[in-house]
Chain A
Amino acid sequence: MSKAITFSKVTQSFERRGQTSIQALDDLSFEIGAREFVSVLGPSGCGKSTLLQLLSGLLMPSHGTISVNDQKVTGPRDDVGIVFQKPTLLPWFDVVGNVTFPIRHKGLSVTSEIQDRAQELLELVGLKEFSARRVDELSGGMQQRVSIARALLLDPDILLMDEPFSALDALTRDEMSFELLRIWSAKKKTVLFITHSIPEALLLSDRIIVMTPRPGRVMEEINCPFQRPRSQETLGDPRFAELSNHIRGSLLKDNANQPQ
């Protein structure tokens, strides 16, 4: 399997004015295969947002290299789409205008082909009838669907998702997890999914990278053995509870060893 994302010995530290530098990531190495769904799971302060910025080319690592599709990341690239924690839609555009925003923002014109593509993506995320609506008329879950469609517009190979459902209420969150599985089965992308939630990571991923905080390191990699397509029944699988307990246990144990 070819490698979509490679982190090799990545260290990232930030200079704080007049203070000692803060190390966000320490000697981080992992690989993600093409069309693999991998979650990065860890407590606050494990450098998840740094990871995202590095991968999207907005930040250069202090040491080590990051490669996407076997090319070293030296800046932002079109083959990486991002979904943020908050939908961050533009209230002055309607739904379809938000989906086509990346094209216009790059200074390109929205051709009828792009329009069709946007409509097709809206249908995929279940918002076909809402394309002409104002975005502030939509619920939080629907807004996040729009932002997923926006991230898919340039047809990236890789989708970065930064705790995309953490701002939603619990019920919508569950619903969106299954929706994401459905969308992913239709558009097989490599997904790097950043989350705080153990059940979310287990339900969605092929593999989970568990990270330790301050500085962020890989603590453990876990393969999710559940068959796809996953459903409500996956949650009832005895291995689900087992793995969930195992991850929670190791995160708690690590937390107890952390200097406060």
Chain B
Amino acid sequence: MTLSKQLFALTERFGALISLSLVLLLWEVGVSLFNIPTYVLPPPSDVFAAATGIAFGQWFSHSAATLKVVLAGFFAATCVSIPLAVAISSSRMASSLIMPVLIAIKATPVVAVAPIIIVVLGTGDMPRVLITFLIAFFPIVVSATTGLALAPPELISLSKSLKASGWRELWDIRLPYAVPHIFSGLKVASTLVVTGAVVGEFVAAERGLGYLVLFSTSNFDVATAFVCLGLLVGFSLLLFSCVGTVQARLFPWSLPKDATG
């Protein structure tokens, strides 16, 4: 292999790392070149300093508060959405009863409802989990409903000719056929739940990374807000890749052939 080819291969392999480093470098140079004040846009070096400026225990407790809401919201969205999708796909009547309600909920801007939810449910994690749930559940319902309708009609005929119960038809045929769709819904939801948790914290919280963003920016400590942002992005990506890993481990057949290698 020639040197240029090796270079290409390396660039491909570490593409994300290289482009991210470039952005950070431009940012650092740009801020000092144009004399931008730190309270408007701190350079990355200030952000790193801010990260170490707060004790690890503090970061941990804020992150844990946010993660708790993120995971609870994700769990609730999953547990509610899949049975809901099963109900919707079970009959045309159920679908015409449930779907309008879901669409109405989805059409409501959650950010606008959030203060109302806080008033109704009070402080504590519960209202934040509900807000997170409301932001994340819809894509799971929609994709699971699509997936549940995808089982080949021949297999449904086979199931009926074997006199299997409706539950067995669902469990043995319809749900497995929906697995790839359910997971794409879960992947979308996994990034939405972080947004949901932050929205909840913006409205009412005493801890958490969203709260810390509000608190630090009100003190013109933009560097700390950037650290929070970095952590939130990290959690989003982590949850997203966890969903992918669970799918690959538990349902390897549900992935396209080239993806499994």
Residues of A within 8 Å of B165, CB to CB, are 107
B253 beta carbon closer than 8 Å to chain A: yes
Contact string, A60-81, partner B, CB cutoff 8 A, digits 1/0?
0000000000000001100010
A17 beta carbon closer than 8 Å to chain B: no
- A107 adjacent to B168 (CB under 8 Å): yes
Contact string, A70-114, partner B, CB cutoff 8 A, digits 1/0?
000001100010101110101110000000011011110000000
The answer, among B155, B160, B163, B253, for a CB contact under 8 Å with A92, is B253
B176 beta carbon closer than 8 Å to chain A: yes
- Contact stretch, chosen from A30-38, A50-58, A115-123, A173-181: A50-58
Contact string, A127-139, partner B, CB cutoff 8 A, digits 1/0?
0000000101000
How far apart are A198's CB and chain B's nearest CB, in angstroms?
Answer: 25
B220 beta carbon closer than 8 Å to chain A: no
- B168 adjacent to A105 (CB under 8 Å): yes
11 A-B contact pairs sorted by A residue (CB < 8 Å)? A58-B157, A58-B160, A76-B161, A76-B163, A80-B161, A86-B152, A90-B173, A101-B172, A106-B163, A107-B164, A107-B165
Contact string, A182-212, partner B, CB cutoff 8 A, digits 1/0?
0000000000000000000000000000000
Binding site for A on B (CB under 8 A): 152, 154-155, 157-165, 168, 172-173, 176, 251, 253-254, 257
* Complex-state Cα separation, A57 to B161, whole angstroms: 7
The answer, among A90, A104, A105, for a CB contact under 8 Å with B176, is A90
Residues of B within 8 Å of A92, CB to CB, are 176, 251, 253-254
* Complex-state Cα separation, A92 to B163, whole angstroms: 22
How far apart are B96's CB and chain A's nearest CB, in angstroms?
Answer: 16
- A105 adjacent to B157 (CB under 8 Å): no
- A134 adjacent to B162 (CB under 8 Å): no
